[in-house]
Chain A
Amino acid sequence: MARIGVFICHCGENISATVDVARLAEEASKMPGVAYAMDYKYMCSDPGQTKIIEAIKEYKLTGIVVGACSPRMHEATFRKAAEKGGINPFLCEIANLREHISWVHPRSEATTKKAIDIVRTIVNKVKQDTPLYPIKVPVTKTALVIGGGIAGIQAALDIANAGHQVIMVEKSPSIGGHMSQLSETFPTLDCSQCILTPRMVEVAQHPNITLHTFAEVESVSGFVGNFDVKVRLKARSVDLSICTGCGACWQKCPSKKIPDEFNAGLSFRTAIYSPFPQAVPNKPVIDRANCTWFQKQKCGLCKKVCPVGAIDYDTKDEFIDLKIGAIVTATGFDIKHTDFFPEYGYGEFKDVIDGLQFERLASASGPTNGEIRRPSDGQIPEKIVFLACSGSRDKAKGIEYCSKICCMYTAKHAMLYKHKHHEGNAYIFYMDIRSSGKNYDEFVRRAVEEDDVHYIRGRVSRIYEKNGKLIVKGVDTLMNSEPVEIEADMVVLATAVVANPDAESVAQKMHISYDKHHFFAEAHPKLKPVETNTAGIMLAGACQSAKDIPDAVSQASAAASKIIGLFSTDVMTREPVVAVINRTMPPLFTTCTGCLLCMEVCPYHAIEREEIKDRAGNVLKIAAKVNAGLCQGCGTCVAFCRNKSIDLQGYTNQQMLSEVMALLNKPF
């Protein structure tokens, strides 16, 4: 027999001013199952709480209802009090008398009656309450960082420096990401590699970081604190443990005409190669698709010249299984290429290039050693036209969003060019200038005022080639929309930032959601910007949305701190508001028929298929099984369950029904 205690708070006058609290307490005491009811000026105050604790003991209460402010305010407070009093905290419920009643209705019979209804409702709920205990989940204190760009590097170092193990997986032969391709960085114009490469080395040498380059995540299963991750180590054909990175192999390699990814296709590399001089690890890999040995079983030169015999043509892909506590997804971004633009020549004009290619031209380590020369004939361009918003904010091209970084790097590009060729002319066609970062707008103004970059507000309609010049047909919308035609030597398209081609498949492996452009979705646009809706998986960098370096790094550190927090305990506890499948005696075991509709609708992949077996291991029944570690307690499964076999602790069908009955004043 339930013995419920009801405690009505006046909240000073906030409640008592419009609700007849004395009568409310009295009515409450008459409610079936209520053993004790009282009202008091400040229930949340120390004496107030003491009254609750004493009452619980004195009247041997099995559950309590506090009629006070919103549960969002003091539920935790009163549940602690209940615990002190010796009852399970989940047997304490709040009747919201203030926000939902006294503050929104005048003093009246109706108001007090509403209060009585609500208290009765909650009393009935408490009667249905069962003690719940926080769920304890062990935590594997090893983090996985997917992607070795600046975001991944930052996250890895932060976690590792906090003393936790980190495993970094990078799909290309070296870490460094796009940042390693950049020349200088805005708004300070400091050399990208100068600030990046030390970090890369730090990663390689950090005692807490295990680095797997040329590797990809195969599958992710399990849940927060307890992920099982399978990683594919792609066959490198070079034994890293022996290789000294002397470079004899790639100097001798005969197939030299392979477009160089690192130089954005502006130069060539060999089939056995190390992506760039500061690569980490700076050891080669064989690009089997372009290697004569693997295509025609001929050559084998690299093997012959390798002084330490590190080349091994027979290596196969290997798989490793990892136990992981939390994951940082930092898989980065891609950009649209010039062939995406029919009106600008379908990528067929050699001297129409994209932003990354310009970075390589401007970079001291680039194919022209930092001299800005046009790809077609190596001449130094006298006129460069830069087109901002190339593909971005272009519904017709399927990209409505702003790529965020273009305004800034275009200003930077124009500056770099002007610094190297003072006599040259730089024109930037733009729609709006978005420079809302620290010292960003000052930077753009510098480009205009000090470096005399010509900004023209308008989009370019078409580019065509004539006698070695690129005719750029634009408009100046600030000049009565007069047509502007520029004979340029080179055109740089600030092409749209897009998700990686494999973003979708990565997201599906991780069970994280993504938007229609395949950028990964954060758990909450404002309050959970680095978490995903899968507990334990964080986002860092441009895989979530277009970002510049400062933003990517901040998000990476944020993701790291989330994980460090997660790793701060051996066992993590979670609110027991989770779904459960009912259990009954054999041979039924459960009323669940195994339709697994719940599995379909669960946003957290928290429901698995369970085979109920006998001792001999014969499958007796298929049923759903809730993984309490993953379940977030939304209850969608409960509503979908066709025969009420799954229920949500704290919001059971029984509880909800009895609540409804009670407030309609019907016995239940």
Chain B
Amino acid sequence: MHESTTIKQNYSLKSQLEEKVGVIPSHCYQCGKCTAGCPLNDDMDIKPNQVLRMLQAEQPGYEDKLLGSLSIWLCLACDTCYSRCPQEVKLSQVMDFLRQESVRQNKVNNQAKDILSFHKAFLETIEKNGKLNEVWLTLNYKLKTLNLIQDVQKAPSMFLKGKLNPIPNRVHNVKEIEQIFKRISDNEGGEK
């Protein structure tokens, strides 16, 4: 993954996928079994098998469509597709790759912004504390998305049940964690 910051533009998503992730889109023969079993198939703008089809076809415009699609953010990585795929195509890894690319080329679909913000909030919390803390995560996420009222009705009861504790539990030497984040971003500009 070292080169992922210096991708030549003429270097197609398909070939990057094959080289970096080791998934070969041409293995897919479009039977659609992935889509048939996908728990969110009817919410996806581009169905799982179509994602592979677009990678196979390599037509102008397809890549932008893919990177701008909602589907890649809806994929829950539940691996139902892969576990039943007759050609053993690891679709969830394709989705991970496309998500990272779409952020890198900032083509993220508008409806996916909340999902992205959540992931970012999550990673930031980890970077600061080394561990997740629901309070921090929630606040962080709410600041990012500004839908402040969501879940507030839950909070009090959660406190009572001790499910939320405002004091963040942290890793002792948080430095280590920060280092990991730093080294990675230095190395290949992982999205943050």
Touching chains A and B, CB distance < 8 Å = yes
Residues in A with CB closer than 8 Å to B35 are 458, 461, 475, 477, 481, 483
Residues of chain B at interface, number, CB under 8 A: 21
B32 contacts the other chain (Cβ, under 8 Å)? yes
Residues from 456 to 488 in A contacting B, C-beta threshold 8 Å: 457-462, 473-477, 480-484
A249 CB, min distance to chain B CBs, angstroms: 48
User: Contact between A483 and B88 (Cβ–Cβ < 8 Å)?
Assistant: no
Binds B, one of A391-399, A563-571, A617-625: A391-399
Residues in A with CB closer than 8 Å to B42 are 482-483
Residues in B with CB closer than 8 Å to A395 are 86-88
B41 contacts the other chain (Cβ, under 8 Å)? yes
How many contacts between A and B, using CB within 8 angstroms? 72
B159 contacts the other chain (Cβ, under 8 Å)? no
A266 contacts the other chain (Cβ, under 8 Å)? no
A240 contacts the other chain (Cβ, under 8 Å)? no
Cα(A457)–Cα(B86), bound, Å: 16
A431 contacts the other chain (Cβ, under 8 Å)? yes
- Interface of A, helix, strand, loop or mixed by DSSP: mixed
With CB as the reference atom, state the residue of chain A lying closest to B47.
A481
User: Contact between B86 and A396 (Cβ–Cβ < 8 Å)?
Assistant: yes
User: Contact between B88 and A460 (Cβ–Cβ < 8 Å)?
Assistant: no
- Also in contact, A459 and B31, with CB within 8 A (given A473-B36, A480-B47, A483-B41): yes
Residues from 411 to 468 in A contacting B, C-beta threshold 8 Å: 431, 457-462
- Encoded as 1 (CB less than 8 Å from any B CB) or 0, chain A from 388 to 407 comes to 01000111110000000000
With CB as the reference atom, state the residue of chain B lying closest to A457.
B32
Cα(A477)–Cα(B30), bound, Å: 8
B37 contacts the other chain (Cβ, under 8 Å)? yes
User: Contact between A461 and B84 (Cβ–Cβ < 8 Å)?
Assistant: yes
Residues in B with CB closer than 8 Å to A461 are 33-37, 80, 84
Cα(A67)–Cα(B127), bound, Å: 85
User: Contact between A475 and B41 (Cβ–Cβ < 8 Å)?
Assistant: yes
Cα(A484)–Cα(B42), bound, Å: 10
A293 CB, min distance to chain B CBs, angstroms: 48
Q: Which of B32, B80, B85, B88 contacts A458 (CB 8 A)?
A: B32
Cα(A457)–Cα(B35), bound, Å: 13
Q: How large is the interface on A (under 10, 10 to 19, 20 to 34, 35 or more residues)?
A: 20 to 34
A261 contacts the other chain (Cβ, under 8 Å)? no
A343 contacts the other chain (Cβ, under 8 Å)? yes
Cα(A484)–Cα(B85), bound, Å: 18
Q: Which of A394, A397, A462, A477 contacts B32 (CB 8 A)?
A: A477
User: Contact between A460 and B47 (Cβ–Cβ < 8 Å)?
Assistant: no
Q: Which of B32, B41, B85 contacts A396 (CB 8 A)?
A: B85
Residues in A with CB closer than 8 Å to B34 are 461
User: Contact between A474 and B29 (Cβ–Cβ < 8 Å)?
Assistant: no
User: Contact between B86 and A394 (Cβ–Cβ < 8 Å)?
Assistant: yes
Residues in B with CB closer than 8 Å to A458 are 31-33, 35-36
User: Contact between A481 and B32 (Cβ–Cβ < 8 Å)?
Assistant: yes
Q: Which of B29, B30, B37 contacts A462 (CB 8 A)?
A: B37
Cα(A397)–Cα(B31), bound, Å: 15
User: Contact between B50 and A481 (Cβ–Cβ < 8 Å)?
Assistant: yes
User: Contact between B31 and A431 (Cβ–Cβ < 8 Å)?
Assistant: yes
Residues in A with CB closer than 8 Å to B32 are 457-459, 474-477, 481
B49 contacts the other chain (Cβ, under 8 Å)? yes
User: Contact between B80 and A477 (Cβ–Cβ < 8 Å)?
Assistant: no
Q: Which of A396, A457, A473, A474 contacts B87 (CB 8 A)?
A: A396
User: Contact between A477 and B49 (Cβ–Cβ < 8 Å)?
Assistant: yes
A464 CB, min distance to chain B CBs, angstroms: 11
Residues from 18 to 44 in B contacting A, C-beta threshold 8 Å: 29-38, 41-42
Cα(A458)–Cα(B38), bound, Å: 14
Cα(A482)–Cα(B38), bound, Å: 11
Cα(A343)–Cα(B83), bound, Å: 10
Cα(A588)–Cα(B42), bound, Å: 84
Cα(A462)–Cα(B88), bound, Å: 16
Residues from 484 to 518 in A contacting B, C-beta threshold 8 Å: 484
Cα(A460)–Cα(B37), bound, Å: 8
User: Contact between A393 and B86 (Cβ–Cβ < 8 Å)?
Assistant: yes
With CB as the reference atom, state the residue of chain A lying closest to B88.
A396
- Also in contact, A343 and B88, with CB within 8 A (given A460-B36, A475-B36): no
Cα(A461)–Cα(B35), bound, Å: 8
Cα(A115)–Cα(B35), bound, Å: 67
Cα(A389)–Cα(B33), bound, Å: 12
Residues in B with CB closer than 8 Å to A484 are 36
Cα(A475)–Cα(B33), bound, Å: 7
- Also in contact, A343 and B84, with CB within 8 A (given A475-B35, A480-B47): yes
Cα(A458)–Cα(B36), bound, Å: 8
Cα(A482)–Cα(B41), bound, Å: 8
Scoring B33, B47, B84 by chain A CB atoms within 10 A of each residue's CB, the highest score goes to B33
Residues in B with CB closer than 8 Å to A476 are 32
In the complex, 28 of the A-B residue pairs with CB atoms within 8 angstroms, ordered by the A residue number, are A343-B37, A393-B86, A394-B86, A395-B88, A396-B84, A396-B86, A397-B86, A457-B32, A458-B32, A458-B33, A458-B36, A459-B31, A459-B33, A461-B80, A462-B37, A473-B36, A473-B37, A475-B32, A475-B33, A475-B41, A475-B49, A477-B30, A477-B32, A477-B49, A481-B49, A481-B50, A482-B42, A484-B36
The 3 closest A-B pairs by CB, nearest first: A461-B37, A461-B36, A481-B47
Extra pairs beyond A397-B86, A461-B37, A462-B37 (5, CB < 8 Å): A458-B31, A458-B33, A474-B32, A480-B47, A483-B38
